[in-house]
């Protein structure tokens, strides 16, 4: 497994765990990251769970196949998520912790971005 595939494998484990948590226990997960936020009874957070889980499954296959084009695309899409979350925070509609959580994934983005370059 290449270094790029390894970084993507770590990302897919994160996505699968996040997807399952959003389906089964969204308020527990939300409480871990947004300690002072009220519990949600809205269904949207549970709807997002299977979507994230499905993306995680696609990422498993990409990592297994060594699909470097998908790795490169993930750098862009994961960066867009960070930018989008930052916009939510700047607009005052979401807690700043959302960006802090995204910064952890940003480190993964950097590792994925650098890995294919170091492998060639």
List the chain pLDDT tens, one digit each, 120 residues: 888 889 999 999 989 998 998 899 888 877 776 655 677 788 888 899 999 999 999 999 999 998 889 999 999 999 999 999 999 999 998 888 888 888 888 988 999 998 865 443
pLDDT of the residue at 33: 67
pLDDT of the residue at 120: 35
Which token pair is 97?
């912790």
pLDDT of the residue at 37: 65
Per-residue burial over 28-59, b if 16 or more Cβ lie within 10 Å, else e, is ebbeeeeeeeeeeeeeeeeeebeebbebbeeb
- Domain of residue 13 covers 3-119
Q: Among residues 24, 45, 18, which one has the least CA distance to residue 10?
A: 18
Domain count, the chain: 1
């Amino acid at each position: 497994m290449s270094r790029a595939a390894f970084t993507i494998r770590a990302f897919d484990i994160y996505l699968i765990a996040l997807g399952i948590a959003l389906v089964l226990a969204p308020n527990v997960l939300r409480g871990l990251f947004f300690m002072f936020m009220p519990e949600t009874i809205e269904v949207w957070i549970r709807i997002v769970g299977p979507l994230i889980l499905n993306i995680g499954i696609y990422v498993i296959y990409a990592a297994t196949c060594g699909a470097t084009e998908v790795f490169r695309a993930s750098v862009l899409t994961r960066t867009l998520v960070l930018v989008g979350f930052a916009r939510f925070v700047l607009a005052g509609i979401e807690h700043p912790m959302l960006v802090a959580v995204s910064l952890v994934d940003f480190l993964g983005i950097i590792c994925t971005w650098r890995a294919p370059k170091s492998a060639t």
